[in-house]
Structure 1
Amino acid sequence: MPSIDLLRHPSRWGLRARSALTAAAVVTVVVVFGAIVMLTLLNRALYGAADSYALGRISEISDRLHSAAPADLPADLLAPDSHVEIVQILDPSGAPIRSTTGAPSGPLITVPDSGTVTGIRAEPDLRVSARRTHGPAPATVLVAVSVDPADDVLKALVAGLALSGPIVVAAAAAATYRLVGRSLSSVEAIRSRVADIGASQLSQRVPIPAAADEIARLATTMNGMLARIEAGHAAQRRFLADASHELRSPLSTVIAGLELARDHPETVDTAMIESTLLPEAMRMKNLVDDLLTLAAADDHLLTLHRTDVDLDDIAATVLDLVRHTTTVELSGQLAPARISGDPGALTRVVRNLVDNAVIHARSTVTVRTVQGAADARVIVDDDGPGIPATDRSRVFDRFVRLADDRARATGGAGLGMPIVAEIVAAHHGTVRIDDSPLGGARLTVTLPVAG
């Protein structure tokens, strides 16, 4: 039953069988069409050549009849040769006056009133042409030529095509079947290799065929995809390890404080809560919020509540807040700059930029806002050590610190700049790092005015 079902549904056949069948069908159509065209052209050529022999003999006899009577014509003009079989000269009534020896007693064909015919089939193996002459004695000249040679050639060609056509079709189908099979062997090698690659073997790659064809491009694309999956898997493991490390420290502090409060409640006072437990809890909360923001960005679920936003007002608010928490000199050159965006998200961007600059600055941080025709920019400069050009792209990777230590006061969690990059990208903007005129780093956020 399965085989019968497959025969009823060719669409379920394998690619090799369908390709071979398609090739056979196409070659069959081409062979049949070519055979018809070839036979038609050859038929015209062979019969045209036969008619030309007849017309040549008619012209020769007609020229003689212009100056001589039919009875005076030499016998060789009426004699057969390798092409001409029968010659008849008819009087105006249609009766033969002179004929080739052994010719029928009656006319081979009935000549129409026009007096001229070419290539009329008189017998199975004869073609007759006729022409009326107007000499001293009006007459009609009929010449019959044999078409046996032409018929033999056509029959031989038809037989040859009938025999060779199926062979050509079968050869084309077999070649297609084998060629597709060889191509699919590379695909099967790719499939089997991919099937063997597990989560712990992402470093493996599929074989790339030597031929620079579509299969090789497929293998190259597959290897690129595996490389991206491997990089994503490694980043995920690194992300989990770094997140666990960052959460473990404040969580351990909070647990230790709670255990101390349980075992020795008299030692826990307001100062300890405010100086140790609450900052660690807030640090843990901020880290969780950052992780949720990045997770939402990864899933394209970072929601923006767009409205008209004045970047200069946001920058002024952030500067006022940060001045109370640092000894670094903060200055602003805030020109009016309005865009369409999410006020809360953009406030977070400016705050992260300023906090990052304050952490690395020696003494000075400046913030500027600039309004352009199609975009607005927030520019933050510091006089710190700067960021090497080779590390500027790494700054936006998660949990990346350029400082050697992991201190919470200097290194941070390494999520501030990745959050900046995600929020700016969600606003269809860009963030760039350059050298600052103050000697440190310059971070420039460019946001389109229309969002």
Structure 2
Amino acid sequence: MRRRLRELSLRARLLLISAAALVLGLAAGGVLLVAVLTFAQGRAVNAEALETARGVARLVDQGQLTDPIQVTPGVQVQVIDEQNRVRAVSATADRLVPILYDGELTGLRDGDGIMIPGERIGFDGEAWVVKDTAGPATQPLQILVARSTSQQSQSLHLLQVTLLIAFPLLVALLAAGLWRTLGAALRPVDALRAGAEEITGGTRAGRLPVPDSHDEVRRLAVTLNDMLQRLDTARARQRAFVADAAHELRSPLTNMRTELEVAQRLPDDTDWPALTDDLLADVQRLSRLVDDLLLLARSDDGGGRAVSRRMEQVDLGQLVGEVAARYPGVRHEDATGPLPLVADPDALARVVANLLDNACRHRRSTVTVRTAEAECDLLVVVTDDGPGIPVGDRERVFDRFTRLDDGRARDAGGSGLGLAIVQELVRRHGGSVTLGDAEPGLRVEVRLPKGDGGAPRRRGAETRPGRLREAESAAMITKE
């Protein structure tokens, strides 16, 4: 059963559920209506019969009882004594046999009633009989009033037949209206499905139709369009990334192929070590570019794999000094005291190496790297006396494969990924990178949040040079 329901459309399932709830509700309402009407009519019959009995009792007490007793049609009255002899009756009542048998009469109190078969006293259906007592206490008289319930039974029967006929028709009409209403309510959803199918088939632009209503379907359409826009942006960025990567990889591969083709035609007395040095430089450049692309591709996964899991406490000043020592002509200005920081030392070494590599590539004479403490942050500041970067381009240089006009030559060694990698690694550490003016040149400031000075040191300082050599090999300085 459940499997068949799941095979139906959403519109059909909603209709079935609504129709079932409607049938149950109407059935419960009909039963309640019949029960209430039956109870009300029973109370009315009992009240009328009891009022008649009390009226006859007053006549008995006043000595004005007539024979026959005047009553409304459909009512029989008997006045009997203690020996169950009939003393007075209404026009249609039996003068010899009491309305109730001895056993029924004995257990009946004044004001109470009992239902008896109507054919016993000539009524159709059933009759309601009430009892009252009148006269002196020494010779009491019992007054029995029987009232026919056939009229009430007929009205109840008519109501039941009406409900049995009207309810199915009402359910059918409501189901038809509900089917149309559900169709109108689900039409925007069907439009979204059709739009998604057209987008999948490539027959329309990547946007879903947004309904005019201000309901959940509209909010769903807006959310889906936002998601599609983000997917389009990510897809365009991925295509651009792949195209730029292919373009960057083509240059060293072309150089290597050219050098190898030329080497095939060189005489035996060629300076082969010089040729292998040129090839090795291209291989190193190619390896460095592949490593950069792999790091950025992993960072795009959103899993934070651009920073390794080897988070430990390091001394930022010592780490920067060890990286700066591998760059001739770079001056390191260390802080007066230790700068503890919980971070990935390889990633931070990569950040410093990329900044120094960029500064050395564009300097005129000097490059300075300085570490300091500023309130809640630790600073790494790299300055050079090169041409600097215009203010309008300082955000753009962090984009991948971005080169300014004076740095586009690939022979300079840049691939346009260094600052993008710096920004990504610093962001993974919760920090920020900003560019500013120096006198003259460019000033790059890296802010990193302070670490817990009491964090345990997982590796000693004596092992850090080995890791720095690893980072240096991954971001090798371009050979002049």
**TM superposition score category, shorter chain reference:** 0.7 to 0.9
Tell me what 1:62 maps to.
57
**Where does residue 32 of structure 1 map in the other structure?**
27
Corresponding letter in the other structure for 2:312 = D
CA distance in 2, matches of 1:334, 1:269: 50
Deviation by residue 1:213-266 (Cα, 9 ceiling, x = unmatched): 333333323322322222122112211221122222222333333333332355
Partner of 1:79: 70
Given the alignment of the two structures, is residue 88 of structure 1 paired with residue 78 of structure 2, yes or no? yes
Structure 1 stretch displaced more, 177-186 or 23-32: 177-186
For residues 363 and 292 of structure 2, what CA distance do their matches in structure 1 show?
24
What is the SS of the residue equivalent to 1:98? strand
Q: Secondary structure at the match of 1:111?
A: helix
Which amino acid counterpart does residue 73 of structure 1 have in structure 2? Answer: L
Q: 1:120 aligns with which of 88, 97, 114?
A: 114
Deviation, structure 1 residue 96: 2.6
Q: 2:319 is matched with which residue?
A: 314
What are the Cα deviations for residues 31-56 of structure 1, in whole angstroms up to 9, with x where unaligned? 11111111111111122122122222
Q: SS in structure 2 opposite 1:333?
A: coil
CA distance in 2, matches of 1:396, 1:278: 29
* Counterpart residue number, 1:3: none
CA shift digits 1:64-119 (9 cap, x unpaired): 54x434xx32569x42226x612222222333322211112322223234523534
Decide whether the 8 Å contact of 1:121 with 1:128 is kept in 2.
yes
Shift of 1:202: 7.7
Amino acid at match of 2:109: G
Correspondence list, 1:340-359, <5 A: 341-356=343-358
Alpha-carbon contact 2:380-2:445 (below 8 Å) kept: yes
Give the gaps of 5 or more residues in structure 2: 119-124, 457-480
Aligned to 2:99: 108
Return the match for 1:97 from 67, 82, 87: 87
Secondary structure at the aligned position of 2:400 is classed as coil
Q: Distance in 2 between matches of 1:156 and 1:258?
A: 106
Q: Give the drift of 1:184.
A: 4.3
- Which residue in the other structure is 2:448 paired with? 445
Amino acid at match of 1:55: L
Change (3 A) 1:18 1:195: same
Matches within 5 A, 1:189-268: 189-197=191-199, 203-264=205-266, 268=271
CA distance in structure 1 between the partners assigned to 2:254 and 2:336 by the alignment: 43
User: What is the rounded CA distance, in whole Å, between the counterparts of 1:113 and 1:204 in structure 2?
Assistant: 87
Contact 2:433 2:447 in 1 (8 A): yes
Match for 2:94: what amino acid? Answer: P
Instruction: Determine the C-alpha separation between the residues in 2 that align with 1:390 and 1:94.
Output: 120
Contact 1:365–1:382 (Cα < 8 Å) also in 2: yes
Give the Å deviation of 1:420. 3.7
**3-state SS, counterpart of residue 27 of structure 2:** helix
CA distance 1:338–1:142, shift in 2 (3 Å): farther
AA in 2 matched with 1:128: V
Change in CA separation of 1:447 and 1:280 when aligned onto 2, cut-off 3 Å: farther
Determine if contact 2:381/2:446 at 8 Å carries over to the other structure.
yes
1:293 partnered with 2:288: no
Q: In the aligned structure 2, how far is the partner of 1:380 from the partner of 1:135?
A: 122
Task: Tell me, in whole angstroms, the C-alpha distance in 2 between the residues paired with 1:272 and 1:297.
Answer: 37
- Please report how far the alpha carbon of residue 30 of structure 1 lies from its aligned counterpart in structure 2 after TM superposition: 0.8
- The DSSP-based 3-state class of the residue aligned with 1:80 is coil
| 9, 12, 18: which one aligns with 2:13 | 18
| Unaligned runs of at least 5 residues, structure 1 | 1-5
Is 1:164 the counterpart of 2:166? The answer is yes
Change (3 A) 1:164 1:417: farther
- 3-state DSSP class of the match of 1:219? helix
Report the alpha carbon displacement of residue 18 of structure 1 after superposing the two structures with TM: 2.4
Identity %: 30
Name the CA distance, whole Å, in 1 between partners of 2:408 and 2:424.
Answer: 23
> 5 Å matches for 1:166-185?
166-185=168-187
Inter-partner Cα distance in structure 1 for 2:233 and 2:201 = 12
Kept after mapping to 2: 8 A contact 1:316/1:334: no
Q: TM-score, normalised by structure 2?
A: 0.75
Amino acid at match of 2:31: I
Contact 1:382 1:436 in 2 (8 A): no
How far apart in 2 are the matches of 1:86 and 1:311?
Answer: 113
1:193-225 per-residue CA deviation (whole Å, 9 max, x = no partner) reads 333335977843221222233333333233223
TM-score (norm 1): 0.80
CA 1:447–1:271: 2 relative to 1, 3 Å: farther
Residues 408, 44 of structure 1: alpha-carbon distance in 2 compared, 3 angstrom cutoff:
same
2:127 and 2:146 in contact (8 A); partners too:
yes
Amino acid across the alignment from 2:223:
T
Match of 2:416 in 1: 414
Q: Tell me how far 1:410 sits from its aligned partner.
A: 7.4
Q: Is the 8 A contact 1:202 1:229 kept in 2?
A: no
Q: Is the 8 A contact 1:405 1:411 kept in 2?
A: no
Distance in 2 separating the partners of 1:270 and 1:380 = 40
Letter in 2 for 1:53: E
**Distance in 1 (alpha carbons) for counterparts of 2:434 and 2:346:** 26
The answer (yes or no) to whether the contact 1:20–1:174 under 8 Å persists in 2 is no
Cα pair 1:246 1:413 within 8 Å, conserved: yes
Match of 1:368 in 2: 371
Alpha-carbon distance in structure 1 between the residues aligned to 2:340 and 2:67: 115
Task: Give the 3 Å change call, closer, same or farther, for CA 35–448 of structure 1 in structure 2.
Answer: farther
CA displacement, residues 405-445 of structure 1 (integer Å, 9 cap, x when unaligned): 423487932323433454456x5x32324576968453323
Secondary structure in 1 matching 2:166 = helix
Aligned to 2:285: 283
Answer whether contact 2:435 2:444 (CA < 8 A) is retained.
yes
Structure 2 contact 329–367 (Cα < 8 Å) conserved: no
Is contact 1:337-1:376 (8 Å) kept? no
**Is residue 203–residue 230 contact of structure 1 (8 Å, CA) maintained in 2?**
no
